[in-house]
Amino acid sequence: MTETLAKVYLEQGHYEKAITAYEILSLKYPQKSSLFANQIKAIKQIKL
């Protein structure tokens, strides 16, 4: 799982896959977890 793949999912409108990707990345890279949490929050706002 990579940040690039998560971004591709987001650009293609696959919001659930993007959220899952960012959740996995958050576990894989704990030092960037706040960044990924913000990305997840932004995606959830887009979905509304």
What tens digit of pLDDT does each residue of 2-46 get?
Answer: 999 999 999 999 999 999 999 999 999 999 999 999 999 999 999
pTM confidence score: 0.91
Note the pLDDT of residue 24.
97
Note the pLDDT of residue 47.
85
H helix or E strand, kind and range, residue 33: helix 33-47
**Distance separating alpha carbons of residues 15 and 45, to the nearest angstrom:** 11
**Which residue has 């576990």 as its token pair?**
27
Note the pLDDT of residue 25.
98
Distances (CA, A) of 16 to 12, 13, 26, 47: 11, 9, 15, 9
Considering Cα of 7, then 23, then 44, then 31, what sign does the dihedral take? negative
Note the pLDDT of residue 48.
82
Distances (CA, A) of 10 to 3, 16, 40: 11, 9, 10
Question: What is the extent of the structural domain holding 30?
Answer: 3-47
Query: In the chain, how many domains are there?
Result: 1
